[in-house]
């Protein structure tokens, strides 16, 4: 089976030759190619080469556009910087409040250089792996865009104390989210992977989620024309799955490190794929045999569930992670399926 066939079989609850797996190696591609991080996060061809190197080296079943959410902040005027051997972070916000953000022009998805960089990576990868490997475009929900432009504190303040302003900003951002998401799908993305932290009870109150961010999320997802992976975004998700179950177009839920895969399945019921739950950033501190033990634990938790994708969670796999520790994941899934790496 190739990777696309493996993922489709998991979606349809059909047997596969081995478990499917994904590694968040967006940053690690630069290590494999030797590209500088400045070039890696500015040249679509070099980023795509990095993902191709990840595929060649570790054989994951999904590849992604840059895991580079500060890029969306840059499109609105925020600044970012790439720390040595680490993924970029926002360094300066474009505005100081939700009211100020309402005055900013919406970025043009067809002309803004940063958005074109994100889209071109998808085009290159989709052309290279058509019919073989699913390519997912990385996005955030409309409610997760303001923290990249005004900061999390200012956005939560608006959600709590200025709900009319917050609603107006969500209404303004949703068409941009949809336009960019549809453009990524049109560029060849198999689907989209996105966070929705500002609809998670770990971050916001139930009132904010139920009256503002969750209705916006449902409405936005319903307008997309492709499948969606719902990513935990660094927040605990397992105890929130009842809230998020049944979201339009969501075919997979990505739970956090140490959350129980079996419990996630019980909360979701049959149908969507459960993804998780290896500690990607933590691989750097493990020996290969310890990585394989974590994989074995994940397989034990999922039991006989075929609608499962083993995956690294949280942020990127760190730049200095020993290659053999990542390769241990490949070896573990092949051993579980009785196939060769």
Give the domain ranges of the chain: 3-337
Each residue's pLDDT, cut to its tens digit, for the chain (341 residues) gives: 999 999 999 999 999 999 999 999 999 999 999 999 999 999 999 999 999 999 999 999 999 999 999 999 999 999 998 778 899 999 999 999 999 999 999 999 999 999 999 999 999 999 999 999 999 999 999 999 999 999 999 999 999 999 999 999 999 999 999 999 999 999 999 999 999 999 999 999 999 999 999 999 999 999 999 999 999 999 999 989 999 999 999 999 999 998 999 999 999 999 999 999 999 999 999 999 999 999 999 999 999 999 999 999 989 999 999 999 999 999 999 998 877 77
- For residue range 271-297, list pLDDT tens digits in order: 999 999 999 999 999 999 999 999 999
Q: What is the pLDDT of residue 287?
A: 97
User: 3-class SS at 81?
Assistant: strand
pLDDT (0 to 100) of residue 23: 98
What the block records as the tokens of 282 is 């933590």
Burial 218-251 (b: 16+ CB within 10 A, else e): eebbeebebbbbbbbbbbebbebbebbeebebbb
Q: What is the pLDDT of residue 80?
A: 94
Note whether 98 and 165 are within 8 A (CB).
Answer: yes
User: 113-128 and 44-58 are packed helices; what angle lies between their axes, rounded to 10 degrees?
Assistant: 40
Length of the chain: 341
φ, ψ (nearest 5 deg) of residue 310: -65, 135
Q: Please state the pTM of the whole predicted model.
A: 0.96
Q: How far is CA 205 from CA 19, 200, 210, 220, in A?
A: 37, 8, 9, 21
- Model pLDDT, residue 138: 98
Which secondary-structure segment (H or E) carries 227?
Answer: none
Alpha-carbon distance of 318 to 315, in angstroms, equals: 8
Fold of 3-337: TIM Barrel (3.20.20)
Complete DSSP assignment for 149-180: TT-HHHHHHHHHH-HHHHHHHHHHHHHHHHHH
Work out the angle between the directed axes of helices 163-186 and 214-222 (0-180°, nearest 10): 30
Rounded CA separation 150/154 (Å): 6
pLDDT value of position 152: 97
């Amino acid at each position: 089976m190739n990777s696309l066939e493996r993922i489709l079989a998991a979606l349809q609850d059909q047997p596969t030759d081995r478990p499917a797996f994904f590694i968040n190696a967006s940053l690690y591609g630069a290590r494999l190619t030797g590209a500088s991080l400045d070039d890696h996060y500015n040249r679509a061809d070099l980023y795509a080469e990095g993902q191709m190197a990840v595929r060649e080296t570790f054989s994951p079943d999904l590849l992604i556009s840059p895991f580079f959410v500060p890029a969306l902040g840059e499109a609105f005027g925020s600044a970012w910087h790439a720390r040595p051997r680490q993924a970029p972070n926002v360094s300066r916000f474009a505005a100081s409040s939700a009211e100020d953000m309402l005055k900013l022009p919406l970025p043009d998805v067809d002309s803004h250089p940063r958005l074109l960089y994100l889209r071109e990576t998808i085009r290159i990868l989709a052309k290279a792996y058509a019919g073989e490997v699913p390519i997912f475009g990385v996005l955030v929900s409309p409610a997760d865009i303001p923290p990249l432009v005004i900061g999390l504190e200012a956005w939560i303040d608006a959600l709590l104390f200025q709900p009319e302003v917050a609603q107006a900003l969500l209404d303004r951002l949703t068409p941009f989210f949809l336009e960019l998401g549809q453009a990524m799908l049109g560029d060849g993305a198999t689907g989209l992977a996105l966070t929705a932290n500002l609809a998670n009870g770990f971050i916001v109150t139930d009132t904010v989620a139920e009256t503002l961010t969750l209705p916006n999320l449902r409405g936005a997802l319903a307008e997309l024309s492709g499948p969606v992976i719902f990513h935990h975004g660094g927040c605990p998700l397992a105890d929130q799955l009842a809230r998020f179950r049944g979201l339009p177009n969501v075919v997979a839920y990505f739970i956090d490190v140490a959350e129980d895969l079996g419990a996630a399945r019980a909360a979701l019921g049959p149908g969507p794929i459960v993804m998780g739950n290896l500690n990607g950033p933590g691989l750097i501190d493990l020996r290969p045999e310890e990585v394989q033990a974590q994989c074995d634990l994940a397989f034990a938790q999922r039991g006989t569930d075929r609608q499962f994708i083993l995956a690294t969670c949280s942020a990127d796999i760190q730049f200095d992670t020993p290659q053999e520790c990542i390769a241990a994941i490949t070896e573990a899934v092949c051993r579980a399926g009785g196939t060769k790496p």
